[in-house]
């Protein structure tokens, strides 16, 4: 039996176990997916120990996505984002991937939303904002990142300067959004609060595709406002799904049963 898992704190309510176990069942794989909360001061030992135990793969979530970097050989994407959410153990140094970026691009592709050559606005410059900004810029979008704390957006844009990323405060949204094709919310605004949105409704328009990283609630105020003006809306469960799909495919080399994984997620949201 292959053992996969998730490390983070907290991980108790994670939706990854049912999503991955639905995939094992659909593909008749003899595998289990467990959640683990390692000692934050012993992350390196935890990764070495998982490797020694024969764990097949680990997902990594908050607050350990940067902490595992010294223990892995990061892919170019993981190195650029500066965060790892998926580790594969295939002998030798564990490989560190960042499939959060694929969560963004594949969620949009699933909805037939083009990225290359489009104008994209990311709101938020934390961990989710970094992954979304890199994913869109690397996929060929002209990418703008806005953040409440403008210095954080400026730092991010400077890091991704070779991809042409530009930055601003939340006030810049009024300048950028009328010409934008894509909008991604990578802030926590709207989480557990059905009435708050990071973007004023009057800035939204029908030619936008709006992806919200928030998945609880699924229909955030941002997505409801976007739907009201005829924009394409993509909820946060799609990002969660496709980062998991990408991890599953890396680990197993098998095409992911996307519909079964999606059902397992949405049954619980
Ligand atoms: P994550 O890793 O999930 O991105 P984070 O690093 O804590 O989490 O980042 C949270 C993001 O939500 C940040 O962009 C934050 O803006 P600041 O950098 O200015 O803190 C944004 N955010 C949180 N609450 C916000 C609010 N009420 N209005 C606007 N942005 C908010």
C-beta separation of 93 from 62 below 8 A: no
Contact status, residue 126 vs residue 148, Cβ threshold 8 Å: no
pLDDT of residue 250: 98
Which one of 65, 97, 130, 221 is the catalytic residue? 65
Together in a domain, 92 and 184: no
Same domain flag for 162 and 195: yes
User: So what's the ipTM on this one?
Assistant: 0.97
Residues 37 and 155 in one domain: no
User: How much is the pTM?
Assistant: 0.97
d(CA 196, ligand 1 centre) in Å = 13
Centre of ligand 1 from the C-alpha of residue 190, in Å: 11
Q: Which pairs from 168-171 meet CB under 8 Å and 24+ separation? A: 168/144, 170/123, 170/146, 170/198
**Is 208 found in the same domain as 125?**
yes
User: Do residues 138 and 209 both lie within one domain?
Assistant: yes
Which domain covers residue 223, as residue numbers?
Answer: 101-234
| Smallest CA separation from ligand 1 atom 21, residue | 187
Residues 197 and 212 in one domain: yes
Q: What beta strand segments (E) does the chain contain? A: 2-7, 31-36, 57-60, 73-74, 86-88, 95-97, 119-123, 142-146, 166-168, 182-185, 209-212, 232-234
Give the model's pLDDT for residue 52.
97
Q: Which of 9, 81, 126 to mutate to test the pocket of ligand 1 (most atoms within 8 A of CB)?
A: 126
Query: What pLDDT, on the 0 to 100 scale, is given for residue 132?
Result: 98
CATH number, position 135: 3.40.50.720
The predicted structure's pLDDT at residue 73: 98
Q: Looking at residue 24, what is its pLDDT?
A: 98
Which residues sit with their C-beta closer than 6 Å to ligand 1?
A: 124-129, 147-149, 152, 186-189, 198
User: Which stretches of the chain score pLDDT less than 50?
Assistant: none
Q: What is the CATH number for 43?
A: 3.40.50.10860
Q: What is the pLDDT of residue 117?
A: 98
Q: What's the pLDDT score for residue 16?
A: 98
> Do 229 and 118 have their domain in common?
yes
Strand ranges (E), 110-262: 119-123, 142-146, 166-168, 182-185, 209-212, 232-234
Residues 6+ apart with CB under 8 A from 197: 189, 190, 220, 221, 222, 225
Residues 148 and 220 grouped into a single domain? yes
Mean pLDDT over all residues of the chain? 98
Give the distance (Å) from ligand 1 centre to CA of residue 186.
8
Same domain, 245 and 226: no
- The whole-number pLDDT of residue 144 equals 98
Same domain, 181 and 145: yes
Residue 264's SS3 state is: helix
Domain count, the chain: 2
Binding site for shikimate: what residues are annotated? 14-16, 61, 85, 100, 215, 243
Residues 124 and 220 in one domain: yes
pLDDT of residue 150: 98
Q: Which atom of ligand 1 is nearest to the CA of 123?
A: 14
Q: Are 138 and 197 found together in one domain?
A: yes
Is-catalytic flag, 221?
no
Q: What is the pLDDT of residues 26-71, one digit of tens each?
A: 999 999 999 999 999 999 999 999 999 999 999 999 999 999 999 9
* CA 259 to chain CA mean position, Å: 19
Query: Closest by alpha carbon to 164, among 194, 128, 197, 139?
Result: 139
Ligand 1 closest atom vs CA 148: 19
């Amino acid at each position: 039996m292959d053992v996969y898992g998730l490390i983070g704190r907290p991980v108790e309510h994670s939706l990854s176990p049912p999503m991955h176990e639905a995939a094992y069942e659909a593909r008749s794989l003899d595998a289990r997916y467990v959640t683990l909360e390692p000692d934050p001061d012993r992350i390196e030992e935890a990764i070495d120990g998982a490797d020694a135990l024969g764990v097949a793969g680990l997902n990594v979530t908050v607050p350990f996505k940067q902490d595992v970097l010294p223990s892995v050989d990061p892919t170019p994407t993981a190195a650029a984002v500066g965060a790892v959410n998926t580790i594969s153990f295939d002998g030798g140094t564990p490989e560190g991937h960042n499939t959060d970026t694929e969560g963004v691009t594949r969620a949009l592709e699933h909805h037939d939303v083009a990225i290359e050559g489009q104008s994209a606005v990311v709101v938020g410059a934390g961990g989710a904002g970094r992954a979304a900004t890199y994913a869109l810029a690397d996929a060929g979008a002209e990418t703008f990142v806005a953040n409440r704390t403008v210095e954080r957006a400026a730092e991010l844009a400077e890091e991704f300067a070779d991809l042409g990323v530009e930055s601003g405060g939340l006030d810049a949204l009024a300048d950028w959004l009328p010409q934008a094709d894509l909008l991604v919310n990578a802030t926590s605004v709207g989480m557990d609060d059905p009435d708050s949105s990071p973007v004023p409704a009057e800035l939204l328009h029908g030619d936008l595709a709006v992806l919200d990283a928030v998945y609880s609630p699924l229909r955030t105020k941002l997505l409801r406002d976007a739907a009201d003006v005829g924009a394409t809306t993509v909820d946060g469960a799609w990002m969660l799904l496709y980062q998991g799909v990408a991890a599953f495919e890396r680990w197993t080399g098998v095409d992911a049963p996307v519909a079964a994984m999606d059902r397992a997620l949405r049954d619980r949201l």
